[in-house]
Structure 1
Amino acid sequence: MELQIKALKDPLKLAWDLFRIRNCLMATLGVFLGALFVYHHDTFIDTNLLLAMLSAFIITAAGNSINDYFDVEIDKINKPNRPIPSGRISKSDTLMISMILFLLGITLGKMINNYCFALALINSLLLAIYAAKLKKTLLLSNMLVSFLVASTFIYGSLSKIGPQGFRFGDLTLLAVISTSAFLTNFSREILKDIEDIEGDKRNYVTTLPIKYGEKFSKRVASILTIFAIFLSVTPFFISLENFNKLAYFFLIFAADLTFLISLRSPAELSQRIMVFGMFLALLAFLFAKLVGIFIY
Structure 2
Amino acid sequence: MESLLTGSLAKPTSFSCYPGIAGLRSTSHGARILQCKQRENIEKQLMEPEILHKNLQMSSQNVRISNNIVKSSSLISRKGSDSFLANSALNTSYESESSKSLLKTIQETYDVFYRFVRPYAFVGDISSILTVSLIAVKSLSDFSPMFLTGMFQVMAAVFFMYIYYVGINQVADVEIDKVNKPYLPLASGEYSMKTAWIIISLSAIVSFGISWSVGSLPLFCGLLTLFVFGTIYSVDLPYLRWKKSALLAGVCTLAFRVPTQLTYYWHMQSFVLGRPVVATKPITLALAMTSLFSIVIALFKDIPDIPGDKLHGVKSLAVRLGQKTVFGICIALLQIGYLSSIAVGLTASQNWSKAITVGGHMFLALLTWIRAKSIDLEKKEDTSSFYQFIWQLLHAEALLIPLIR
- TM-score normalised to structure 2 length: 0.65
d(CA) in 1 for partners of 2:324, 2:104: 45
Displacement after TM superposition at 1:208 (Å):
0.7
- State the 1:156 CA deviation: 2.7
Query: What secondary structure is seen at the aligned counterpart in 2 of 1:80?
Result: coil
How far 1:124 moved relative to its partner?
1.0
Q: What residue ranges of structure 1 are gaps of 5+ in the alignment?
A: none
Deviates more, 1:123-132 or 1:271-280: 271-280
Secondary structure of the residue that 1:128 maps to in structure 2?
Answer: helix
Secondary structure of the equivalent of 1:233? helix
Matches within 5 A, 1:99-248: 99-110=201-212, 111-132=214-235, 133-162=241-270, 164-169=275-280, 172-239=281-348, 244-248=353-357
**CA displacement 1:128-158 (0-9 Å, x = unmatched):** 1111111111232134224313445323312
What do the CA deviations read for 1:165-202 (whole angstroms, capped 9, x no partner)? 23443xx2112122212212312321221211000001
Q: Deviations over 1:259-290 (max 9, x none)?
A: 3234433341432332222222223335x37x
Partner of 2:396 in structure 1?
A: 280
Does residue 65 of structure 1 match 2:167? Answer: yes
Matched residues in 2 for 1:168 and 1:188: separation? Answer: 26
SS of equivalent residue, structure 1 residue 139: helix
Following superposition, the deviation at residue 9 of structure 1 comes to: 0.9
1:254 corresponds to which residue? 363
What one-letter code is carried by the residue in structure 1 that aligns with 2:224? L
Rounded to whole Å, the distance in 1 between the matches of 2:372 and 2:258 is: 21
Cα distance in structure 2, aligned partners of 1:165 and 1:134: 36
Give the whole-Å Cα distance in 2 for the aligned partners of 1:151 and 1:10.
37
Question: What do residues 94-144 of structure 1 show as CA deviations (whole Å, max 9, x unaligned)?
Answer: 122112212221232342421221121122111111111111112321342
Q: Give the CA RMSD over aligned residues.
A: 2.5
Alignment partner for residue 386 of structure 2, among 270, 282, 289? 270
Equivalent position amino acid for 1:114 in 2: L
- Which residue does 2:180 correspond to in 1? 78
Q: Post-superposition shift, 1:37?
A: 0.4
Q: Percent identity?
A: 18
Cα distance in 1 for partners of 2:294, 2:206 equals 26
**Aligned residues between the structures:** 287
Q: Provide the C-alpha distance between the structure 2 equivalents of 1:152 and 1:242, rounded to a whole number of angstroms.
A: 32
- Please say if residues 282 and 401 of structure 2, whose CA atoms lie closer than 8 Å, have aligned partners that are also in contact: no
Query: What SS does the aligned partner of 1:175 have?
Result: helix
Q: C-alpha distance in 2, partners of 1:226/1:138?
A: 22
> Which structure's relative contact order is higher, taking Cα pairs within 8 Å and 6+ residues apart?
1
Question: If you compute each CA radius of gyration, which structure gives the higher value, 1 or 2?
Answer: 2
Q: What is the alpha-carbon distance in structure 2 between the residues aligned to residue 33 and residue 240 of structure 1?
A: 20
AA in 1 matched with 2:334: T
Structure 2 distance, partners of 1:40, 1:246, is: 20
2:351, 2:312 → 1: CA distance?
A: 50
CA–CA distance in structure 1, aligned partners of residues 119 and 293 of structure 2: 20
Measured in 1, the distance between the counterparts of 2:210 and 2:367 equals 36
